[in-house]
Homo-oligomer: A and B are copies of this chain.
Amino acid sequence: MDGEPLRVGLLGGGTVGSQVARLILEHGDDLAARIGRPLELVGIVVRNLDRPRPGLPASLLTTDAEGLVTREGIDIAIELIGGIDPAQDLILKAMSHGASVVTANKALLAAKGDELFGAAQHAGVDLYYEAAVAGAIPIVRPLSESLVGDEIQVVMGIVNGTTNYILDKMTAEGMDYQTALVQAQDLGYAEADPTADVEGHDAAAKAALLASLAFHTRVRGDQVHREGITGVAPQDIRAARGLGCVVKLLAVAKLLDDGQISVRVHPAMVPNTHPLASVKGAYNAIFVEAAAAGRLMFLGPGAGGAPTASAVVGDLVTVARNRSRGVVGPVQPMYNDHEVAPMGLVTTRYFVRLRVQDEPGVLAGVAGVFARHHISVQDVQQTPAGGKAGDASAELYLLTHEAKEADLLECVADLQASPQVQAAVRFMRVEGM
C-alpha cells in the first residue's frame, strides 16, 4: 500500500479496546486497502501494565495517555476508556494536537456533546461515535445521512442489552427482578454494580444522542426523563401478557405537535405485533418513523467487545479515509431549538392496575375518576384477587386511550385517595399500540 501510514493511538485496552486492537492488527492489509493507506497502531493506553493481555503486543502498552495523544504525528485517537474524566480531557488534547477522534463513550457525548463537537470543528478534525449508540448497529449514519432528507417523527429503541435480558427472563420464566438480575450478573450480562444499566442511565445517554441526531437539536443526557426497571413487578409482566404486550425498557424520542420533543427512558408495554416486541436477550433494536420513509427498524448486538469494536473500526476506516484525502466528514448542524417537553405534557397510553374492594359500584366509581380527569378508558378487566371472606378484593386493569401524563398522575392520586382502593395504584406507559 502506498503512502505513509496513518498513526493511530488507542486509549483503553479493556473489553472493547482489546478487540479494536485485534481487528487493527489482524486485518491490517484489508483495512489499508479500504482506506488507501496503511494504519499503524502506535500505542495502547491502560491503567495497569501488569495485567496479562493476550493478543496485545507488550511493546505498545503504556500508561501515559497524555503522552500518546500529544505525541507528534498522531492522526487518529480512539477513546475507549469511558466516563468523563480523563476521557474528555484526553479527547480535547488529541483534537487540539490535530488528531481526529473515534469514541464509543455515550456518557461523555451525552454530557459534553456541545463542547466536544465544537472543539472538533474548531480544530478541523473528525469526531465519530457510531459505537456509542447500540453497539454494532449502524444508526448514527442512517440518522445523520440516509434519513437526513426526511422528517423523523419517532425514534424508539431497546438500547440496553442488560435490561432487555432481565426483562426477557422475567417474561419467559416468570422470574422476579432480583432473581433475573443475579442470573444476568452470573452470566456476565450485568455488572457487579448494575446501576448504570438498570436505572436507565446508559439508555438515557443513548436517547439523548438519538434525539439530537433525529431532531437536529442538542439534547443532553440529564434532560432525558429516566426510570429504570427495578420497580417492574411480575404482576406488570403478567398484566402485559394479558394485554398482548411485553414489557421493554424503551428509549423514546418523539416530535410533539407543538414542536417540543419528548425524550425519555422508562419501562413500557409494547404490543406483541410491534417489531420491537420480538427483540430478545442482549439484542438491541431501534425503530424509526419518518414522514416519507415510513417505519424502519435496525436490529443487532448492542454491546460486547467484538460487536462494539466493529463499529469503532468502521469509524476508524471512515475517519482515516477522510484524513488521507485531507477532508473531514460533514458536521451535523444542531439548528433547531426544540425544547424538551416536561413529562406532564407528554401524551401516551397507560395501563393502570389497582386493587379495590369487590363490592357493587366500585367499578363505576373508578370509571368516574378517569372521566373527571378527561381520560378515556379503552378497556377494563376485573379479576377477583382473593382475600378473607367478607373482605373480598378485586384487581382492576385499565387500558386508557392517549392521555396527558399530568392528567394521568392526578387521576392516579385521586384513585389512591379513594377509600375503596386498597393498595398502591400502579401504572405503566404503553407504546407502539
Indicate whether A61 reaches chain B with its CB closer than 8 angstroms.
no
* Contact between chains at A333 and B34 (CB < 8 Å): yes
Closest to A311 in B: B146
Indicate whether A175 reaches chain B with its CB closer than 8 angstroms.
no
* Contact between chains at B301 and A150 (CB < 8 Å): no
Select A333's contact among B33, B141, B292, B335, beta carbons within 8 Å.
B33
Most buried by B among A30, A306, A310: A310
Residues from chain B with Cβ under 8 Å of A330 in the complex? 318, 321-322, 325
Residues from chain B with Cβ under 8 Å of A19 in the complex? 292
One of A130-138, A373-381, A425-433 at the interface: A130-138
* Contact between chains at A294 and B322 (CB < 8 Å): no
In the bound complex, CA of A127 to CA of B307 (Å): 30
Indicate whether A316 reaches chain B with its CB closer than 8 angstroms.
yes
Select A149's contact among B141, B291, B313, beta carbons within 8 Å.
B313
Select A136's contact among B137, B296, B311, beta carbons within 8 Å.
B296
Indicate whether A362 reaches chain B with its CB closer than 8 angstroms.
no
* Contact between chains at A310 and B290 (CB < 8 Å): yes
- Chain B: minimal CB distance from A156 (Å): 14
Residues from chain B with Cβ under 8 Å of A146 in the complex? 130, 138, 140-141, 311, 314
In the bound complex, CA of A330 to CA of B328 (Å): 11
Number of copies: 2
* Contact between chains at B299 and A275 (CB < 8 Å): yes
Encode A270-295 as 1/0 by CB contact (under 8 A) with B: 00000100100000000000111111
In the bound complex, CA of A145 to CA of B150 (Å): 21
* Contact between chains at A142 and B145 (CB < 8 Å): no
In the bound complex, CA of A428 to CA of B321 (Å): 43
Encode A21-63 as 1/0 by CB contact (under 8 A) with B: 0010001001101101000000000000000000000000000
Encode A328-354 as 1/0 by CB contact (under 8 A) with B: 001001011000000000000000000
Indicate whether A409 reaches chain B with its CB closer than 8 angstroms.
no
In the bound complex, CA of A23 to CA of B299 (Å): 28
Indicate whether A224 reaches chain B with its CB closer than 8 angstroms.
no
Indicate whether A317 reaches chain B with its CB closer than 8 angstroms.
yes
Chain A residues within 8 Å of B, Cβ to Cβ:
19, 23, 27, 30-31, 33-34, 36, 130, 136-138, 140-142, 145-151, 216, 275, 278, 290-301, 304, 306-307, 309-318, 321-322, 325, 327, 330, 333, 335-336
Give me 13 A-to-B residue pairs in the complex whose CB atoms sit less than 8 angstroms apart, sorted by A's number.
Answer: A136-B294, A138-B145, A141-B141, A146-B311, A292-B310, A293-B310, A294-B307, A297-B297, A297-B298, A297-B300, A298-B299, A322-B330, A325-B330
